[in-house]
């Protein structure tokens, strides 16, 4: 490839930004999400090694760094600074659920006695912020599911499952917006002690790296259905 081509590819890489969020351990007794930090670390490796995203363009928040204020203030600020030429990638591993008319994700300081007020709305902190920003090229990955906290299972669970309508509306609000979810409502996203990863994220990354031909359509496309 000529010098101009090299410069063009480098410019695309330099304009890709990512925020990776993983909550494996919680401050107030919420069940642990096994291997969430391993998943986040491997997702970061994929960005750096396969997409060639510069390390300085990636933020990785885990456990005590994932506070409610960090997501409501810092994440929205980072998104507001994106330009129309930028690409934005968001990844989350942790507990998630649907409540009060919106999809919620948990933070390190989420309290099981007051879930509604100590969790964050994905629409408010992420999707609406992206709609208001100049950035129209975004990709979101959510590895979370819902069930009752009291079950204390190894699945990524909490309350009732996420509602897909919110996500569909977001994807349809722009030409270059995509979202991948680990499971549908009433399903669960499990971890594996053999893989030491969340099962969905493990195979997602295999597909994105081109290591799972059965998940690739026409030798170039990965879709929710093919995954």
Domain count, the chain: 1
CB distance 24 to 34 below 8 Å? yes
CATH number for 206: 3.40.50.1460
- Which of 133, 129, 174, 135 has its CA nearest to residue 15? 135
Quote the domain boundaries for residue 26. Answer: 3-215
Residue 86: other Cβ atoms inside 10 A: 19
* 141, 143, 145, 149 alpha-carbon torsion, rounded to 10°: -130
Chain segment 91-114, per-residue pLDDT in tens: 999 998 887 788 899 999 998 888
- Which of 104, 91, 90, 93 has its CA nearest to residue 34? 93
- What are the distances in angstroms from CA 7 to CA 14, 56, 58? 10, 19, 21
Report how far Cα 122 is from the mean position of its chain's Cα atoms. Answer: 10
Query: Does a structural domain hold residue 79?
Result: yes
Query: Does a structural domain hold residue 112?
Result: yes
Query: Does a structural domain hold residue 227?
Result: no
d(CA 33, CA 118): 18
d(CA 147, CA 159): 4
Mean pLDDT by 10 residues, the chain (227 residues): 51 81 93 94 97 96 96 96 95 88 91 88 94 94 68 47 76 83 78 94 93 84 78
Query: Does a structural domain hold residue 191?
Result: yes
Query: Does a structural domain hold residue 224?
Result: no
d(CA 120, CA 80): 18
Query: Does a structural domain hold residue 225?
Result: no
Query: Does a structural domain hold residue 223?
Result: no
Chain segment 211-221, per-residue pLDDT in tens: 988 888 887 78
Query: Does a structural domain hold residue 226?
Result: no
């Amino acid at each position: 490839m000529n010098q101009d081509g090299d410069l063009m590819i480098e410019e695309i890489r330099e304009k890709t930004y990512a925020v990776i969020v993983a909550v494996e351990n919680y401050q107030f007794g919420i069940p642990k999400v096994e291997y969430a930090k391993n998943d986040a670390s491997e997702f970061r490796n994929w960005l750096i090694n396969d997409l060639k995203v510069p390390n300085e363009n990636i933020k990785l928040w885990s456990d005590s760094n994932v506070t409610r204020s960090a997501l409501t203030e810092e994440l929205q600020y980072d998104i507001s600074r994106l330009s129309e030429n930028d690409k934005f990638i968001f990844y989350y591993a942790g507990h998630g659920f649907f409540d009060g008319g919106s999809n919620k994700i948990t933070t390190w300081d989420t309290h099981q006695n007051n879930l509604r007020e100590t969790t964050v709305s994905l629409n408010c902190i992420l999707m609406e912020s992206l709609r208001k920003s100049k950035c129209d090229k975004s990709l979101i990955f959510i590895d979370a599911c819902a069930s009752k906290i009291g079950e204390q299972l190894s699945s990524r669970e909490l309350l009732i499952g996420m509602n897909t309508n919110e996500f569909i509306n977001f994807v349809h609000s722009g030409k270059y917006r995509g979202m991948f979810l680990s499971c549908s409502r009433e399903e669960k996203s499990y971890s594996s002690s053999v893989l030491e990863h969340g099962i969905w994220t493990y195979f997602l990354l295999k597909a994105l790296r081109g290591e799972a031909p059965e998940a690739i359509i026409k030798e170039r496309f990965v879709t929710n259905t093919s995954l």
